[in-house]
Structure 1
Amino acid sequence: MSIAVSADIKPSRLLLLIMGFACLCVALIGVFACLLMPGQLSWLARGVLAAACILAAAIALFLVLRDRKTVWLHISGTGQIRVVEHLTSGASRAKPQVMKAGLAQLLAGTTIWPGMLFLRLRLENGKTRTIPILSDSVSEDTFRALSVACRWLISHNTAKARMLEK
């Protein structure tokens, strides 16, 4: 059986919606803490708490929006992972511009659930990258193939580690 799979992973709209709702909740908690806690804290302390919550929500939303890039992931039959980040111009249907490309290694902490994959990868430059893959990021068949390939890689890496320990 070959585990080779290629996938064009688009940013998940569902994940963006969930993160946007979480940021809104944090901001509203700050506002409600400012308005609904009379007598327990001074106005200054409540104002600082509200501002901190709103600032934290804005920063979190900015970071989520900044990391929304389309990623092409290729896992070869031998288990080698190649990651290519690219930017597509929204107005035209031109070929995507490659931003970064390189080999990666699947790390421990990769999460594989039936409807969600969080791939932790160590890139060639030593940085760690987490790629969230939800069911709306790829087609159903591609999601299934990625899940099988990642499970195979995890079991293969675990077997290699056990052999090295002996």
Structure 2
Amino acid sequence: MSIAVSAIVKPSRILAAMMLAMASLTSTVGILIGLGAIGEMVFLLRLAISASILILSFFGFYHGMQRRKPIQLDISGIGQVRVAERSIIVSSCRESKRTHVAPYGEEVRLLPGSTLWPLMLLLQFEDANGRRITVPILRDSVSQDGFRALSVACRWITANEVRSKANH
């Protein structure tokens, strides 16, 4: 398989900042409800709602941060896509980073629900087992040329799928 586009998608700092802002705003609402500044409720109900909001806000932020890993995307000239999760190994002696990549990754197909915007790609893939993988790609995740190449390749794949469905 000759690879037409190959890119390493790093976790986006912009997306992390947006997730932190969302968790902070949600936590603020939870605190305001707990202090009685928002709404008029019985103390125990107010406390339960406030605690639930704070726990869910923390869980959402933590869960989002845990899933941030570099991903290798390889798209062939005929539209085959391979996704490989990269793991960064930091050696404590020299503080050097080595990257380990699965040899080939897994072959996936791009789903029609993927979002292809000029400043963001939200790619949804499905593997042979039916497992869905979502890869958010913002401008700071890859180089400018890499973002453009991925965008063009994904648009080409979706256009060819539409053409092939129309012919059948």
Q: Same fold (TM over 0.5)?
A: yes
Q: Which residue of 1 aligns with 2:28?
A: 28
- Which residue identity lines up with residue 57 of structure 2 in the other structure? A
State the shift of 1:39 in Å.
7.7
Q: Helix, strand or coil: the match of 2:105? A: strand
State the shift of 1:126 in Å.
1.4
Q: Which residue of 1 aligns with 2:69?
A: 69
- Which residue identity lines up with residue 107 of structure 1 in the other structure? L
For 2:14 and 2:54, the matched residues in 1 are separated by 22
Pick aligned residue for 1:159 from 156, 163, 168: 163
State the shift of 1:34 in Å.
1.5
Matches within 5 A, 1:12-91: 12-37=12-37, 40-90=40-90, 91=95
- Which residue identity lines up with residue 36 of structure 1 in the other structure? G
For 2:106 and 2:129, the matched residues in 1 are separated by 9
- Which residue identity lines up with residue 114 of structure 2 in the other structure? T
Pick aligned residue for 1:93 from 63, 79, 97: 97
Q: Helix, strand or coil: the match of 1:4? A: strand
Contact kept in structure 2, 1:85 and 1:100, CA below 8 Å: no
Q: Which residue of 1 aligns with 2:135?
A: 131
Contact kept in structure 2, 1:34 and 1:49, CA below 8 Å: yes
Q: What are the ranges of 5 or more consecutive residues in structure 2 without an aligned counterpart?
A: none
Contact kept in structure 2, 1:102 and 1:123, CA below 8 Å: yes
For 2:36 and 2:54, the matched residues in 1 are separated by 16
Change (3 A) 1:104 1:39: closer
For 1:8 and 1:22, the matched residues in 2 are separated by 27
Change (3 A) 1:150 1:46: same
Q: Helix, strand or coil: the match of 1:161? A: helix
Deviations 1:111-166 (A, max 9, x none): 011110000100232101110000000000000000000000000011111112xx
Deviations 1:11-49 (A, max 9, x none): 001100100110111111011011134882011111011
Contact kept in structure 1, 2:71 and 2:84, CA below 8 Å: yes
Q: Helix, strand or coil: the match of 1:59? A: helix
Change (3 A) 1:153 1:74: same
TM norm structure 1: 0.91
Deviations 1:37-68 (A, max 9, x none): 48820111110111011011111011111110
The farther-off stretch of 84-93 and 136-145 is: 84-93
Q: Helix, strand or coil: the match of 1:143? A: helix
Change (3 A) 1:80 1:67: same
Please say if 1:111 is aligned against 2:115.
Answer: yes
